[in-house]
Amino acid sequence: MCEACERKLRPLREPLCPRCGLENSPAAAGGKCPSCPRGEIFFVSVRAVTPYAGVACHILEKFKYRARAEYADFIAPLMAQIFKKQFIGIAFDCIIPVPLHHTRRRERGYNQSALLARHLGRDLSIPVHEHSLRRVRPTPSQTRLSRQERRENVEGAFATRGDVGGKTILLVDDVYTTGATLNECARALRNSGAEYVYGLCFCRAELD
């Protein structure tokens, strides 16, 4: 990735929502965030590198759908920088990537979130438990769904495998939009005994 493209990735504008990481959020001053997941929220907070716009869209499109797995070498260090700024003093037990269903992973050739998690695990010296969370049923793409449809689409789609009891977990995904997927993953982990779940993504998107 060239330096010119990297310079086009602007940081999210403070203040951020303490929970969902929305930029310029009224929640930072005690107001109500318009973007946090509806209903019970199972993660503590989520942070991202950059808005889902411009060159960031191009990067993720290539990374997810054009077999450009090497883009993880560029994305993960930027995520590690945000981690070091936003999660100071938190002792994480493990990193868990948001899983793909095996049919989707076979089509794509890899799970992009797992690639990012492996890089982050090496950079941050945190164990990666790639198989502690699994997607138990295939789900349609969230891209063209409303906020409510996204929540319903992933409801009950994840289950844990292995012991996560008492752990502080960093969930890793490529993009956060409404939080439906990450919140449902966090629900599965918390219901299996995880103590705290945080999220880290490359992009922070918003529904139109």
| pLDDT given for residue 181 in this prediction | 96
- Rounded Cα distance, 141 and 100, in Å: 11
32-72 confidence digits (pLDDT tens): 899 999 899 999 999 999 999 999 999 999 999 999 999 99
Query: Is 43 within the bounds of a domain?
Result: yes
Residue 34 located in a structural domain: no
* 121 falls within a domain: yes
Q: Is residue 30 part of a domain?
A: no
32 lies in a domain? no
Rounded Cα–Cα distance for residues 170 and 175 (Å): 14
Measured distance CA(153)–CA(79) in Å, rounded: 27
Q: Is 31 a domain residue?
A: no
Domain-embedded: residue 80: yes
Domain that holds residue 75: 3-25+39-204
Render pLDDT for 117-152 as a digit per residue (tens, 0 to 9): 999 999 999 999 999 999 998 887 887 788 899 999
In a domain, 149, yes or no: yes
β-sheet bridge partners, residue 159: 134
pLDDT for position 208: 67
Q: Give the percent of the chain with pLDDT over 90.
A: 79
Total domains in the chain come to 1
Whether the pLDDT of residue 89 is over 70: the answer is yes
CATH number at residue 187: 3.40.50.2020
SS3 readout for 127-171: CECCCCEEECCCCCCCCCCCHHHHHHHHCCCEEECCCCCCCEEEE
At 188 the pLDDT is 98
